[in-house]
Chains A and B, each alone.
Chain A
Amino acid sequence: MISPSVALAAAVGLPLIGCVAIWLLDKSPNLREAATLITATLLLVLSITVFLAVGNGETPQIFVFEVIEGLPLAFRAEPLGAMFGLIASGLWFVNSLYSIGYMRGHNEQHQTRFYMSFAVAISAAMGVAYASNLFTLFIFYEVLTLSTFPLVTHYGDAKARNGGRIYLGVLMATSIGLLLPAIVWTYAIAETTEFTAGGILAQHVDAAGPLVGVLLGLYAFGIGKAALMPVHPWLPNAMVAPTPVSAFLHAVAVVKAGVFSVLKVVVYVFGIDLLRDTGAATPYMWIAAGSILLASLIAMNQNNLKARLAYSTVSQLSYVTLGAMLATSMGVMGGATQIAAHALGKMTLFMCAGAIYVAHHKTLVSELRGLGRVMPWTFGAFFLGAMSIIGLPPMGGSWPKFFLMLGAADAGQIAIIVVLMISSILNVIYLLSIPVQAFYMNPAEDGAKAQGAGGKGIQWGNLKEAPLLCVLPPVMTAAGAFILFFCADPLYNYLAPLIAEAP
């Protein structure tokens, strides 16, 4: 068995080897897809190794090399990173199955480039997950941005060009313009960028000054991948990509890398004690709360299914930022569990959207009425995924909401609890209405009078589902979201070291 420390570096390197293999197997699609799946399987094994080691209380770490004096490229796993790594690699495996079904079912061009970019992106995501310092995190953060650009502009038409321009523009502008100075500033103050329990800034800054708040703002907006309003426009624009990209990258790897980085920075760079004592996080907490509500309101008005899901993602990502900015241990716990729960839930929804598109070429919410009767598995999975996103039991998504409410209560922010409640109601309206209409209303084509409820029920003998590889993955992730509900206790204990320092 490979040692967990080596597994850290291998998890970053392996997909790159896979990328080369995919390139070499350009001419034979079956072997090429086999290369993707084998890489994904091995990567999953590696991340499980790391995950279990961290669960046993070990701290796997590996020093790769020093780039600039005092700034090494190094990896170290802690509970949050190990969890993110496991989610990313596990869902990459599921998504690889789905990609094969989708890309073939849809006869896409440039499939080799597609799988290669995907492999580089997952390598970068693993690098972000296991980074042991801000410097390493930034390197992989940028690689993740660049490697996903070919995926966003996959179709190469004017719309894709425009989307790609905004995608790259916003992410580069925020990361170079705000995040990089923030990191260098941190380094200039603390003379290290190493993630340290309790934070590295605490001993070095004047707690009363404005510096903490300014730096936190640079991080909060500089990590554009967290899509905190107003730096969210890249996310809806990234929806021009093929659906597997939206499902995995823009619901899991890229956006979770963003909120994961925010959590990491808050917990290990500032330390929640520093933020609580200075109150520096409070303005950003309100911005996150505003982002939650505003994005939900925009989502309600989107008729395009993927656009609606994208704005829902913007809203849900701000839950994590909110949790971090509450600067209480329960808030951090809520943010951390939200990373896991939202990943499973939102990926389910996107994969369902893709399955609907492959099977029926429908992209608008208003076209989906009655479709549940011929695609019961897809819409069943959609229903479960939506429940989880909203936070209804018995789905995994209910726990983060619960922790966040506790965190808000701890912080004495009753208004935040109200925000969370309103947001859940909005979620019910714009997410649950989709499967409900799909199951209970007649298709629009049947004429105006057939719009009402009732009708023929599910036609089990006459299903028109997408190919198996497009349907099975969302069913798997929906089941995962269900199982997560019963794993709250182990997950809490696993992540407990994250908040151990805080009283």
Chain B
Amino acid sequence: MNLAAQLPVLPIITPLILAPITLLLPKGRAPWAWATIVSWLTFAACAFLLAAVEDVGVISYQLGDWAPPLGIEYRVDLANGLVLFLVSAIAAVVFPFAYRSVQLEIDDRQSPFFYCALLICLTGLLGVTITGDAFNVFVFLEISSLSTYALVAMGARRDRRALTAAFNYLIMGTIGATFFVIGVGLLYQATGTLNMADLHDKLAGQSNRVVDAGFAFIVVGIGLKLAMFPMHLWLPGAYTYAPSAVSAFLAATATKVAVYVLIRFIFTVFGFDFEFLGAAFTYVFLPLGLAGMFIASLVAVFQEDVKRMLAYSSVGQIGYMLLGLSFATVEGLTASLVHVFNHALMKGALFMAVACVVLRAGSHSIHAFSGLAKRMPYTTWAFIISGLSLVGVPLTVGFVSKWYLLQASFAAGHWYAGFLIVASSLIAVLYIGRIVEMMLLREPAEEGPYAIPRRDAPLSMLIPMWFLVAANIYFGVNTELTGGLASRAAEALMFMAGGAQ
């Protein structure tokens, strides 16, 4: 059997098959080391896959040699190739980072289960991204969600509120998944197929209540998963009380994958022939994106808990992605994809910095950040640089995102959206600036619950974190991978969807 020919399936089966082995390993370092190795193997597979896709355009893989539309097809093009690369890269950075943080925050006996669940979650996210089959999306979505519920609940050792947060997420996530599967069922009823490309062909020209309802169910279902405002209520709790490493991983990947799924369904499955779509852009994605950008960002300003603040900021940032795709232009879609990538880099780094603070201070309250520059300078500067990136300062990825988004809004004639984008990034200046001022200009607490020893995080955390921070700068000055690839991916998606109309 030629391994190269099986390359498209490797990102899925590597973590899927190797994950249960974690459970057999003794407690301590072994499960972590194993999971880290698996995450790196997965990353290697995704990187090779992206390189291969760049050469040939689209790779189609038939699972078990069953031909689509009956068999399940893995279909990799530039758009999901990029997301696969991103998700596996974040995993490859977060897994090594997790060890010390998890050691502190999770019961030692649970660590094999923890790393197993994390690998399963990774499998699910990659599966959702790679598959070309609508029902298979649901299957992987549930795989990733179920493991995520467990992972969030594991934060209960530090804070019992993790249990209610996980339960809340479970209910909302299940509603979302149910809506999604109902929508897929309706489409199946209308077309008799589940393969996305096939769905696209069969849906062309169809406009009836069944398809319209299917579309609505799917959008709401995915909307819940990607925390589209106002369906974001599960997110702040889940991100706040999950173990720090899990927050970092989820914030950088889970919602991004959901955004990708939304893009895939809108542009590949439905396409511009679908009449409902224009209304959805104008009356759903654009206003909800803008509302999220402002309301969630404003809420973030008033949070006393830094993880919760970053979580609300994530809801706001998802608004940018929705805004970009709502323009329904190549530029807008490019901006969305670029921001999916870039936001993962900045939020990942920010949550990792918080994880470092939690390790030393035992708290993610804003008070723990007082005078942090004097106690943990490397963590502080990692937070500042990725915070500036979130604000959109030049030479960081955030600026690149903002530039693409602004350009897309002006090019699409939505100049008011351009001003709203910059206005909402000024809100980011407020909530990031608040923390930065705490860290730089306040004195650290000498005693009390927020006193921190003068000791930075261990190298095992600093190195992965600074790796992401460096990525924030590298992709801020070299946009060949992000911007170049994303614009080609967007062109392909728009072409499939029926061109800009």
Contact = CB atoms under 8 A, between A and B. Distances in A.
Most chain A beta-carbon contacts within 10 A, residue among B393, B476, B483: B393
Query: Interface SS of chain B: helix, strand, loop or mixed?
Result: helix
Contact of B406 (A71, A160, A184): A184
A490 B483 CA distance: 47
Given A143-B394, A177-B422, A181-B419, A65 B388 contact: no
Contacts of B422: 176-178, 180-181
B184 to A, nearest CB: 37
Given A142-B393, A173-B429, A69 B407 contact: no
B394 A185 contact: no
Given A142-B394, A164-B441, A173-B429, A185 B388 contact: no
A146 interface: yes
B442 to A, nearest CB: 9
Contact of A172 (B426, B484, B487): B426
A343 B362 CA distance: 51
B429 A68 contact: no
B233 interface: no
Interface residues of B, number: 33
A65 B480 CA distance: 11
Contact of A67 (B426, B441, B479): B479
Nearest to B394: A139
Contact of A139 (B395, B433, B441, B484): B395
A176 B407 contact: no
Nearest to B425: A176
Nearest to A222: B422
Contacts of A67: 400, 476-479
A187 interface: yes
Interface stretch (B111-119, B154-162, B215-223, B410-418): B410-418
A464 interface: no
Nearest to A188: B410
A142 B476 CA distance: 14
Given A67-B477, A185-B418, A180 B406 contact: yes
Contacts of A156: 441
A221 B425 CA distance: 18
B418 A184 contact: yes
Contacts of A173: 426, 429
B23 to A, nearest CB: 46
Nearest to B404: A68
A165 interface: yes
B403 A184 contact: yes
A164 B484 CA distance: 38
Nearest to B402: A180
B423 interface: yes
Contacts of B426: 172-173, 176-177
B186 to A, nearest CB: 40
B429 A185 contact: no
A160 B440 CA distance: 12
A148 interface: no
B108 interface: no
Interface string A64-84: 010111010100000000000
B304 interface: no
A161 interface: yes
A146 B396 CA distance: 13
B444 interface: no
B429 A161 contact: no
Contacts of B440: 153
Interface residues of A, number: 30
Interface string B444-488: 000000000000000000000000000000001111000110010
Contacts of A139: 394-395
Interface string A482-502: 000000000000000000000
Contacts of A161: 437, 441
A176 B418 contact: no
A219 interface: no
Interface in B363-409: 388, 391-395, 400, 402-404, 406-407
Interface in A171-210: 172-173, 176-178, 180-181, 184-185, 187-188
Contacts of A176: 391-392, 422, 425-426, 429
A103 interface: no
A180 B429 CA distance: 15
A138 interface: yes
A406 interface: no
A188 B411 contact: yes
Contacts of A69: 479, 483-484, 487
A153 B423 CA distance: 25
Contacts of B433: 165, 168-169
B207 to A, nearest CB: 34
B441 A153 contact: yes
Contacts of A168: 433
A288 to B, nearest CB: 24
B443 to A, nearest CB: 9
Contacts of B404: 68
Interface string A135-165: 0001100110010000001001000110011
Contact of A65 (B410, B423, B476, B478): B478
B208 to A, nearest CB: 39
Contacts of B392: 176
Interface in A303-339: none
A19 to B, nearest CB: 15
A428 B483 CA distance: 56
B128 to A, nearest CB: 29
Contacts of B441: 153, 156, 160-161, 164
Most chain A beta-carbon contacts within 10 A, residue among B403, B433, B437, B440: B403
A187 B404 CA distance: 11
Contacts of B403: 68, 71, 184
Contact of B388 (A146, A165, A184): A146
Most chain B beta-carbon contacts within 10 A, residue among A65, A153, A181: A181
A168 B391 CA distance: 13
A342 to B, nearest CB: 28
B479 A68 contact: yes
A161 B403 CA distance: 31
Contact of B483 (A68, A73, A143, A172): A68
B407 A187 contact: yes
B404 to A, nearest CB: 8
Interface in B42-96: none
A160 B437 CA distance: 11
B394 A138 contact: yes
A156 B394 CA distance: 26
A187 B407 CA distance: 8
A113 to B, nearest CB: 11
A172 B388 CA distance: 11
B46 to A, nearest CB: 25
B418 A181 contact: yes
A221 B311 CA distance: 33
A172 B479 contact: no
Interface of A: 65, 67-69, 71, 73, 138-139, 142-143, 146, 153, 156, 160-161, 164-165, 168-169, 172-173, 176-178, 180-181, 184-185, 187-188
Interface of B: 388, 391-395, 400, 402-404, 406-407, 410-411, 415, 418-419, 422-423, 425-426, 429, 433, 437, 440-441, 476-479, 483-484, 487
Given A67-B479, A169-B433, 13 more contacts: A65-B478, A67-B478, A68-B404, A69-B483, A138-B394, A146-B393, A153-B441, A156-B441, A165-B437, A168-B433, A172-B426, A181-B406, A184-B403
- Shortest beta-carbon contacts, A-B, top 4: A188-B410, A139-B394, A184-B406, A177-B422
7 contacts: A68-B483, A69-B487, A146-B393, A153-B440, A165-B433, A178-B422, A184-B406
